[in-house]
Amino acid sequence: MKLEFERHETLKAEATHRDFISKPQEARAYEAFLQTKVDKARMSIAAGHGISGAEAEAFMAEKRSQVIG
């Protein structure tokens, strides 16, 4: 029984360590992905491929009216 408990505790500690190591790596990967998206959006807007906030609001108001009826 004691060996089983010790094995369980060892496995739990190893899993905690893996999570501790992988979470920052996942966060960095997501931040890099998000930064790439932002950079592409900024380049698109700088190239003139964008709409104003008012145009976006009007577009979405039209979509909402189509859905609602």
Asked if 61 and 69 count as a contact pair (C-beta separation under 8 A), the reply is: no
- pLDDT at position 18: 78
User: Which residue segment(s) compose the domain that 57 sits in?
Assistant: 2-68
| pLDDT over 80 at 5, yes or no | no
Confidence band, pLDDT 50/70/90 cuts, at residue 67: very high
Does the model's pTM come out above 0.85? Answer: no
Q: Give the count of domains, the chain.
A: 1
Tens digit of pLDDT for each residue in 13-63?
887 877 777 788 888 999 999 999 999 999 999 999 999 999 999 999 999
Dihedral pair phi/psi, residue 48, rounded to 5° = 90, 10
